[in-house]
Structure 1
Amino acid sequence: MNNTNQIHISLLVTSDVHGYIFPTNYIDHTERHLGLAKIATIVKQKRKQGHVLLMDNGDLIQGSPLTFYHAKYKANTPNPMIKIANQLNYRASVFGNHEFNYGLDYLQSVMNESNFPWLSATVLDEQGEPAFGKPYIIENIDGVKVAILGITTHYIPNWEDPKNIKGLTFSDALETTKTWVNKIRTNEQPDVLVVSYHGGFERDLETGEPTEELTGENQGYQICMEIEGIDVLLTGHQHRSIADYLNNVAVVQPSNNGQLLGEVKLSLQKNEDKWELKQCQPALISVDEEIQADPEVLLLAKEYEEQTQAWLDTPIGEIDRDMLITDPFQTRLQDSPLIEFINSVQMDVAGVTISNTSLFNNTSPGFKQKVTMRDIVSNYVYPNTLKVIRITGKDIKDALEKSATYFEIDESGEISVNPAYVEPKPQHYNYDMWEGIEYELKISNPVGERVTMLHYQGQPIDYKAEYDVVMNNYRAGGGGNFHMFQGNPVVKDIPTDMTELIANYIMKQGKINATCNQNWKITK
């Protein structure tokens, strides 16, 4: 119990919930230990025990079939994620990069429905001011003044469709945090200063060694090391599980999809008229089989879930054999009917002869003979649109070399996945497979020299010639450090989501022939 001179506050944080409410696997209906319904049970238990301050750290409204269905077909109805966030009395949310995926009109409606502010000091309008109002909030808990500053990774223009962020600029997260921490400390004199950063760590927390390319996407390490006056850093974006200290700053990152709830236990002591922060204890609370989903939350989302499940079971068409994925690694080692099909859809819609795509993760099941919307959203998990960009033969070669870094030769002399694409965050989506060209990659060759054959229409590709290539908007903007694609002319912008394009293609064809022309191969 708190006495008049001591107070304990539980700072709870979700991040990268990505539209998951029900503890369910949308691929096959199996139960999973995740989602806001189970998180709600923990939050309510914590509130019975004492003071609770609940935050969301971004990527709340996008990422599941439920939120996709709402954004595309039910956008004029209340947002299910916000209904639940309001019910749970979230105090604020930070803008994540995926908040912008459905456009600014949709995002504005989300903000209008929210009983809490959305924070970011890095998302700016054309005048260079915070675009959506508040960069920070002050929470007063029994006289304790807690300041929470919202920061969003500034790397968003490298991924997002420009129309979805029109009129916005994104200031450097590190420099902006420095500025605002100083302002808040000076003007507000809080007892506790929390930075809630939709971004992660580009360096090992213990050694400081880089764990990824230092692009500025994840500046958490520098924020802790270079900025004085931060007590707590809430992080996200990378979907990692972190509860630690860095330079005396308590740090948490609670995974994704509501699998973990981050907690920082704040203990303060009153000396005369001033509260003094005595302890910040970071922890992760596991959402396991012992935790039951909160019935109130399930009821709030019941109608949305039922509509989504009915939509997912809508028959679309059939395939003459199947396009199942039994081994994701093998699918990335040699051409497969599924990857060829996705590329074929892209080329058909775009009216070009060269395409690339990825197998986004290791849970894509492929397509059975009978195809439903559930199959499509299980395989194409991002709300990507398509762009046709004009690039040189040299750009194609450079992109293939970049993709070739996905592989390495392991100690046994076999091809394996480069650990940099698995830790600290899986990045299988940054390995592309191409259609419309013929190529070979030899993995035992040095990095940058692995493309041993590259042809277009039976002839060696001309490095100086220009080619129109269709790819998703994330890659076309250089996402995944494919810098060779940045700044090239956009020949065609296809703003329809790929899931809809795939569904439309299958419905139009009725029956799809599963083909595989083996236009590329990987060798040792």
Structure 2
Amino acid sequence: MKKIISFFFVAALSIQAYATERAIKLTFIETSDVHGSFFPYDFTNRKPRPGSMARVSSYVKQLRKQHGGNIVLLDNGDILQGQPTSYFYNYVATNERNIAADVINYLGYDAETIGNHDIEPGHAVYDKWIKEVKCPVIACNVINKKTGKPYTHPYAVVKRNGVKIVVLGMLTPAIPNWLTENIWEGLQFEDMVTSARKWIKIIREKEQPDVVIGLFHSGREGGIKTKEYEEDASIVVAKQVPGFDVVMFGHDHTRYNQTLRNTAGKEVLCINPANNAMTVAQADISLTYKNGKLTDKQVKGTLVDVTDIEVDEDYMAHFKPQMAKVNNYVDRIIGNFQNSIYTRDSYFGSCVFTDFILNLQLQITKADIAFNAPLQFDASIKAGPVRVADMFNLYRFENQLYVMRLTGEEIRKHLEMSYDLWVNTMKSPDDHLLLLANTRDDAQRLGFKNFTFNFDSAAGIDYIVDVTKPDGHKVKILRMSNGQPFDEHKWYTVAINSYRGNGGGELLTKGAGIPKDSLAGRIIYRSPRDQRYYLMQEIEKMGTVAPKANNNWRFVPEKWTEPAAKRDSLLLFGHKRNPKEEK
């Protein structure tokens, strides 16, 4: 009898303990800056590629099999631009559902934010995409001017196994610095810290969540800073706005996984998977409840490399028709190049790749001068048939083509800032020519101190860049390339992309000294479609093309710069600049 009583006593205690204490583990997976990397195939270079959402799908399936419904899947924007896949569904197959929505829906995402490159295609594209995505699209600081309320959902509420989760979305407010207003007409972008404070208070009072996740399309730190906002403010928000358990961010294409302490003394995991679906950010949160009250919360962050994971064959079969359509589009031959061109040459002087674009800009617009920068670190177009796919190497982004009115002095100052970002001030022949830094792991800098897409050179003028001179005094414009004199007091027409024309990179504002609110008044032409479209048209008209460098500018003194260029080329690329030199 005593044994029976003892048994029931122990059982009762066990039942009571079970009733009063509960442990739950949740796993949050973030993708960010996917940039059209939906498949393990590079439609631009027509070859297999690592990563992709096909491998992310396999990983998520594996987690769901192991942990059931305790997986929360989040995407952090910049999904509508990158590969030709995105371009095709944004601008060509406009009557079909956007493939970026299909991918999000297939994988069963729980929430999606907006990236700056999702705004870039314009209202017609992103408004349609937002409607097609089945999960909440969230961005609390993107405000509808008419209503004064968020343009999309400010946050998403997700419930898992009795746990209430709130995911607050935000977008970098620097959009007006990159994109012309007609693209984001009717919207305004609030400072992230201000918006986060407001919405965290609302979330606490209205939702009373167990877990709060920040999903921010904004980088870690740096970027554009004004009196109104910071471009890259994810860490600032994590530290200054108490209430977040995890801040999952992106935009700057740089992996990051650190636990920081906010102003309230609480720990916040900050994690960024970088770009192109090569890595996912994983936050594992263990929760303990006693008598229904949350008593303990443990958070661990992991960056998971998915490049070696097998692709999801069911996913690939599902999207086979869309892949076939895109492949058919990009495989069309539009011309023929008699020689190969390489972006890597553009860092060391007047080069075929950059000059070909500059000359086409002048040909299309009839402007006096053109500016352009290398948009990819080390891309090439090989001699032979040129296909639509090659146009995505020739010009990476969907920028419009502008013509602006600038004075000769503004043109020189614009170039001064460009070369100050680009080249070192050499004090001896043993110094670096280029302004390098320990940024090999930074997908946007790749060994440079600054972004290469801000390294503008020019056509239409002849000039030298004296790298022994201090910043602001390196560029000397000799003449117009047609032999006419160059006058710093004269007005010129300048062909330029819309990113730069709207103030991107600050070369026109901080460099040339033009007030930001005066830029729009300087624009005398805006192309209706993206610049790549017009470059492609010109190549089709020409048929067979033999691109050549203009040789209208050079670094001096050449006794220093030429050996330094060879040394820096080996550091950056591990080989000589022109593959022909290796033979």
**Equivalent residue of 1:5, what SS?**
strand
- Partners in 1 of 2:295 and 2:362 — Cα distance? 62
Measured against aligned partners, the alpha-carbon deviations of 1:339-369 in whole angstroms (never above 9, x if no partner) come to 2211111112222121111111223113423
Partner residue of 1:515? 548
> Which deviates more, 7-16 or 434-443?
434-443
Q: Which of the two has greater helix per residue?
A: 2
TM-score (structure 1 length as normaliser): 0.93
The partner residue of 1:182 within 186, 201, 204 is 201
Deviation at 1:233, TM superposition (A): 0.5
The partner residue of 1:296 within 303, 308, 314 is 314
1:403 aligns with 2:418: yes
The 5 Å alignment of 1:229-378 reads 229-247=243-261, 248-289=267-308, 291-319=309-337, 321-325=338-342, 328-378=343-393
Partner residue of 1:453? 477
The partner residue of 2:538 within 494, 498, 505 is 505
- Partners in 2 of 1:231 and 1:461 — Cα distance? 58
Deviation at 1:131, TM superposition (A): 4.1
1:166 aligns with 2:185: yes
Relative to structure 1, the CA distance from residue 314 to residue 274 in structure 2 (aligned partners, 3 Å threshold; closer, same or farther) is same
Relative to structure 1, the CA distance from residue 476 to residue 494 in structure 2 (aligned partners, 3 Å threshold; closer, same or farther) is same
Amino-acid identity (%) = 27
Contact 1:191 1:276 (C-alpha < 8 Å) held by counterparts: no
- Partners in 2 of 1:150 and 1:54 — Cα distance? 14
The 5 Å alignment of 1:477-492 reads 477-482=502-507, 483=509, 484=512, 486=516, 487-488=518-519, 489-492=522-525
Partner residue of 1:25? 42
Q: Unpaired runs of 5+ in structure 1?
A: 203-210
TM-score (structure 2 length as normaliser): 0.83
Relative to structure 1, the CA distance from residue 454 to residue 128 in structure 2 (aligned partners, 3 Å threshold; closer, same or farther) is farther
Question: Residue type of the partner of 1:17?
Answer: V
The 5 Å alignment of 1:97-176 reads 97-127=116-146, 129-176=148-195
Deviation at 1:330, TM superposition (A): 3.2
Measured against aligned partners, the alpha-carbon deviations of 1:71-116 in whole angstroms (never above 9, x if no partner) come to 1210111122211211211011001101112211221211111111
- Rg larger for: 2
Measured against aligned partners, the alpha-carbon deviations of 1:373-395 in whole angstroms (never above 9, x if no partner) come to 12111221111111111122222
**Equivalent residue of 1:415, what SS?**
coil
Question: Residue type of the partner of 1:235?
Answer: F
1:439 aligns with 2:463: yes
Partner residue of 1:474? 499
**Equivalent residue of 1:179, what SS?**
helix
Relative to structure 1, the CA distance from residue 175 to residue 450 in structure 2 (aligned partners, 3 Å threshold; closer, same or farther) is same
Measured against aligned partners, the alpha-carbon deviations of 1:138-167 in whole angstroms (never above 9, x if no partner) come to 112122111111100000111123221111
> Which deviates more, 65-74 or 462-471?
462-471
- Partners in 1 of 2:54 and 2:41 — Cα distance? 11
Question: Residue type of the partner of 1:431?
Answer: F
Relative to structure 1, the CA distance from residue 106 to residue 347 in structure 2 (aligned partners, 3 Å threshold; closer, same or farther) is same
Deviation at 1:27, TM superposition (A): 3.8
- Partners in 2 of 1:481 and 1:383 — Cα distance? 19
Relative to structure 1, the CA distance from residue 508 to residue 394 in structure 2 (aligned partners, 3 Å threshold; closer, same or farther) is same
Count of matched residue pairs: 510
- Partners in 2 of 1:475 and 1:148 — Cα distance? 34
**Equivalent residue of 2:26, what SS?**
strand
1:495 aligns with 2:528: yes
Question: Residue type of the partner of 1:463?
Answer: E
Relative to structure 1, the CA distance from residue 503 to residue 329 in structure 2 (aligned partners, 3 Å threshold; closer, same or farther) is closer
Deviation at 1:270, TM superposition (A): 0.2
- Partners in 2 of 1:212 and 1:409 — Cα distance? 23
Contact 1:26 1:378 (C-alpha < 8 Å) held by counterparts: no
